[in-house]
Structure 1
């Protein structure tokens, strides 16, 4: 049987997966279901896993946090996500698959048929490492921002900085501000770390859009759109190191 871990912070999503799994008896051994990254890490470090159904946003952390911190990555990863957009292409390079929420039985079944054929293969560790490498090199060119009426788009190259507002994020461009119903952590994981720098817990700046830097105890930068963004003391040296 396939030793399986489910990681999702929403009970109804876990229950949906369990329901689908029950319809395919004799395949899965559910080792645990976890609603936090920390709990999932404990399970993964103390059990031999073949498969992890992994949500992307898990409370204040992400599925990537789990993959970065887990000690052993000798398992397949299937992302379960509600975000059908620019990130999916990167995930598919090395994640075994992704399933869109609400998960459809036919799509689930197709994934499991392929999984059964490959689960005995060795060397899964490389899949997780390759996943991170692909995400780093596969920055989207366009962000899709859902709205009440539909959605708006913004070119990544036009983003000056991003500002956290609880579970929402303000995306500042040269001439306007858009609000996205995703936390800033989502964009921190998505956008290229070479171009975007988290200068403060609530701010992610485009390094190509910095106009002026002001040093001092309360350092800050002025962006090309005129906005002033604080630079946290503990991030200052790392920020300056980008210019060496």
Structure 2
């Protein structure tokens, strides 16, 4: 059972979540529902929580105000929002789940199923800090990478290149190679297109990490970490155009 807190300043949104939760009585134990950040803070400090459904805009405050006031966060956060704005990009960079209002039944089930598959939330406090930093940036600077142990945060500037492996992606950064259970298309859409270039259908490179370019039948670049990454024939002119 997940000890659950719902934080939202609109009664009908709370009722919608409670309706969805009631369909899974074996999964949730709702500790409280709160309409203000102050009330939610009191509940979070007094109770061991596993999950918080957190609205972004709560009266004259935000859900981020709640997170900033907690020294240690041991619960999973699922944001709920009616606005598809800059916050969504920050959620994706920081590996946070979110649900768009009005909350769809299937999307709710998919999110909860994904949550159930995750292991213990080691390093979650660091992921929250990453989110709060990214919220202050027009272009997020920190990328949170889920791992077997929990989460690892890397500077976007330290990512050398990414390589597709089916529905997984290898991320090369800080002399490490990490595998993430997301397709490379996810990162192609997420990362700044001015900094990251799709050199090949299976490769995304950080243009600031390109060391040398080698022409030939199979052109390639040598990256700062010593790896060779191919440049597809149809991508070569656009790649060279970046240096003009």
Identify the residue that residue 105 of structure 2 maps to in structure 1. 105
1:7-62 C-alpha deviation (Å, 9 max, x unpaired) = 00001000100100111121111111100000000000011111110001101111
- CA displacement 1:148-188 (0-9 Å, x = unmatched): xxxxxxxxxxxxxxxxxxxxxxxxxxxxxxxxxxxxxxxxx
Report the equivalent of 1:33. 33
| Aligned residues of 1:49 and 1:75 also touching (Cα < 8 A) | yes
| Matching residue of 1:49 | 49
1:77–1:96 Cα contact (<8 Å) kept: yes
Aligned residues: 140
In structure 2, relative to structure 1, the CA distance for the partners of 1:69 and 1:81 (3 Å cut) is same
Q: Unmatched 5+ residue regions in structure 2?
A: 141-244
Moved over 6 A (4+): none
How far apart, CA to CA, are the structure 1 residues paired with 2:119 and 2:46?
20
Q: CA RMSD in A?
A: 1.6
Retained in 2: the 8 A contact 1:50–1:119?
Answer: no
Q: Take 2:48 and 2:4, find their aligned partners in 1: how far apart are those partners?
A: 9
* 2:72 equivalent in structure 1: 72
Q: Which residue of 1 aligns with 2:131?
A: 131
Q: Distance in 2 between matches of 1:39 and 1:95?
A: 26
1:118 is matched with 118
Q: TM-score, normalised by structure 1?
A: 0.54
Alignment of 1:176-191 (within 5 A): none
Question: CA contact under 8 A between 1:4 and 1:30: conserved in structure 2?
Answer: yes
Query: What's the offset of the Cα at 1:73?
Result: 1.1
User: 1:64 Cα shift?
Assistant: 0.8
Structure 1 residues 66 and 86 mapped into 2: Cα distance closer, same or farther (>3 Å)? same
Q: Offset of 1:95 from its aligned partner?
A: 5.1
C-alpha distance in structure 1 between counterparts of 2:93 and 2:69, whole Å: 20
- In 1, Cα distance between equivalents of 2:63 and 2:121: 23
- C-alpha displacement at 1:136, in angstroms? 2.6
Normalised by the length of structure 2, the TM-score is 0.54
Which runs of 5 or more residues in structure 1 are unaligned? 141-244
SS of the aligned residue for 1:84 comes to: coil
